Amino acid sequence: MLKARKSNRMWNPLVLLRRHPFEVKAFFDYSLVLTYALPADFLQGLLPSRLEVDRCGELGFLAIALVKTRHLRPAPLPKFLGQSFFLSGYRIFCRFPVEGRRYRGLKILRSDTDRWTMVLLGNLMTHYSYRKVSIEEHRANSNLKLQVKSQDGQTDLTVRVALDQAELPPDTPFADWREARKWCGPLPFTFSPEKETGKMVVVEGVRSEWQPQPVKATVDRISFFDQAVFRGITPVLANAFYTERIPYSWKAGVLK
């Protein structure tokens, strides 16, 4: 009887739906990624057991992606049926060793969006922990300002970006932009542990024309690192990259 109950959970429609069962397409008006350096051993504690921090010496990296997205939809559907929204996401650079390979990708800690429809659909079809936030965007010439206000106060963010300036943050651990480019994302894979089976849902992203440009970012407010789990840890802004007008798609998820 115990085995029968486990089998029923594995075939629960919600479990199957959250495996990202079909290809998804979207278009990014732009993407801004802020990457923070933190102690690798600390980040390892935030990951499930089958994932490993993607290390650079003693450091690991947590990226905050701010993406203006249009026409997100299952691949067979026309664009006008897609969802357009703003996304802010928090994810850790990590590796997944399996089947003799070490896949490089991201473990999503939290995703925020300015549309309730995306909160509902995102949590129905993924393990990405969508929450509703308000996002304000201000653009003047080559200057961009984004302000995120979360209902729980955990992901408030204010960042100002000079799109025409390429300047590494003052405390970056990287020697130059070429080295920093390895840690700007997005990475090929996203990993989500499935508690019902103990397996990992692996989703591969497909992009073309992805040429992120280094930019100068000034972060005036970030509440994510005010959470108790980060007490005693000092995240350091390591780089900021910007890209725009990018077609993007995700393959159907694979269970490993």
- Walking along the chain (256 residues) 10 residues at a time, the average pLDDT comes out as 42 79 93 97 96 96 96 92 94 94 95 95 89 96 97 97 95 94 84 91 87 95 97 97 94 93
For residue 244, give Cα distances in angstroms to 30, 36, 163, 210, 227: 4, 21, 11, 8, 31
Q: Does the reported pTM lie above 0.75?
A: yes
Q: Look at residue 2 and tell me if it is in a domain.
A: no
Give the closest residue to 67 by CA, choosing from 140, 18, 137, 126: 137
| CATH number of 123's domain | 2.40.400
Q: Is 204 exposed, middle or buried (0-12, 13-18, 19+ CB in 10 A)?
A: middle
Q: Please check whether residue 7 lies inside any domain of the structure.
A: no
What is the reported pLDDT for 5? 41
Residue 256: inside a domain: no
Q: Is residue 243 part of a domain?
A: no
Q: Which domain holds residue 212?
A: 28-237
Task: Say how many domains are in the chain.
Answer: 1
Question: Is 21 a member of any domain?
Answer: no
